[in-house]
Amino acid sequence: MNALAKPVKTDPLISAALETLSELVPSYARAELEVKIKVLSVMRSELRALEESLARDRRLGECVYQAGWHNAVLSLTLVGMRELSA
């Protein structure tokens, strides 16, 4: 089976951050694969702490969770932007 034919499962936070990054930095969409892999790797390294924070937010209430979600997406996007400018 071809590796490209396999379905890819990704975290919704990462997906949202990559979409936001592509919108804010259009050159990211045209970047080389190696650059995209580096950006994804850096985002994934930050993901665990953000997920823990979201779990705490969820216990506080839905509106706190929603605000935390958007903050997490923007935080991951910023991490990606920093990696692109490095």
Inside any domain, residue 21: yes
Inside any domain, residue 2: no
Other beta carbons within 10 Å of 26: 9
Cα maximum dimension of the chain: 45
Rounded to two decimals, the pTM is: 0.84
Inside any domain, residue 81: yes
| Predicted confidence band of residue 86 (pLDDT cuts 50, 70, 90) | confident
Q: pLDDT of 22-72, one tens digit each?
A: 999 999 989 999 999 999 999 999 999 999 999 999 999 999 999 999 999
- Domain span at 28: 11-85
Inside any domain, residue 70: yes
Exposed/middle/buried for 2, CB within 10 Å: 0-12, 13-18, 19+?
exposed
In this model, does residue 14 exceed pLDDT 50?
Answer: yes
Q: pLDDT of 61-78, one tens digit each?
A: 999 999 999 999 999 999
How many domains does the structure of the chain reveal? 1
> Of 69, 76, 64, 59, which Cα lies nearest the Cα of 14?
76
The reported pLDDT for the residue numbered 67 is: 96
Inside any domain, residue 5: no
